[in-house]
Amino acid sequence: MAEPAVTTEVIDSLRMIPLFQRVSDEDLENLAALLIERRYPKQAVIVEEGLPGDYMYVIRQGRVQVTKAAEDGREKIIDFLEAGAFFGEMALLDEAPRSASIRTLEPATLLALSRRDFRKLLAHSPDLALSLIRELTRRLRDTDDHTMSVSFQRVDERVRGLFVRVARSEPEFPGCRATPRLTHQQIADMIGTSRETVTRAVKELKASGWLRQRGKRYLIA
């Protein structure tokens, strides 16, 4: 009698993830039977750029950082992902090496799906395939928006937009939202400008009262 309750709990949990919201219960049951839960400590490397990949991942709990190696050897931050996001699907679709590295920013619980099971599910679940296409399309639109902002927005607008996008509510910062730890160089890499320009923009945002700083973390109301 306990088994259906567990299945319902798993399906309800998967249904909270945007990628699976429009997938049928039957397909979610099949998916739940194939997912492998993996737990990682803070600062664990889950995916390494340039290496082959056999799994895609869905973040159930926690937050991760996406990075790429720059030509000068520096690690450039591309994005931050949190619960509900997924990554690693590209290597399963085209079998090319990983295009970026993924590291946890805090202890995280991930759901892993192998290449074989991933392709089998896509072949038998039109709903899942369509959901994946929708999410990949959304990412492409986000990339287009980022390209447009780099081309046409002022630097202070880009800095403000970045902080709004990556900040989240945390118990240790009541009444505001906090970004991950960021240096001015990392911010500059993410919005396509120089470190000196970011330093000026951050100073102006602080002077306006819109932005506060605690160590390398930024707080916005």
pLDDT at 3: 39
Say whether both 180 and 126 belong to one domain: no
pLDDT at 159 over 70: yes
CA distance 221 to 178: 9
Say whether both 114 and 198 belong to one domain: no
Domain that holds residue 200: 153-220
Q: How confident is the model at residue 146 (pLDDT cuts 50, 70, 90)?
A: low
Model-level pTM greater than 0.85? no
| Beta carbons of 127 and 23 less than 8 angstroms apart | yes
pLDDT at 40: 97
Say whether both 137 and 164 belong to one domain: no
The total number of structural domains that make up the chain: 2
For residue 20, give every residue at least 6 positions away whose Cβ sits within 8 Å of its Cβ, in sequence order, or none: 14, 28, 31, 128, 131
User: What is the token pair recorded at 81?
Assistant: 């992902």
Say whether both 114 and 182 belong to one domain: no
The identity of residue 190, as a single letter, is M
Residues 48-58, mean pLDDT to the nearest whole number: 92
How much of the chain, in percent, has pLDDT values that exceed 70?
93
DSSP 136-172: HHHHHHHHHHHHHHHHHS-HHHHHHHHHHHH-EE-TT
Q: What are phi and psi of 166, to 5 degrees?
A: -100, -10
Selection from 3-7, 22-26, 36-40, 153-157 with the highest mean pLDDT: 36-40
Say whether both 6 and 103 belong to one domain: yes
Say whether both 205 and 117 belong to one domain: no
Say whether both 20 and 111 belong to one domain: yes
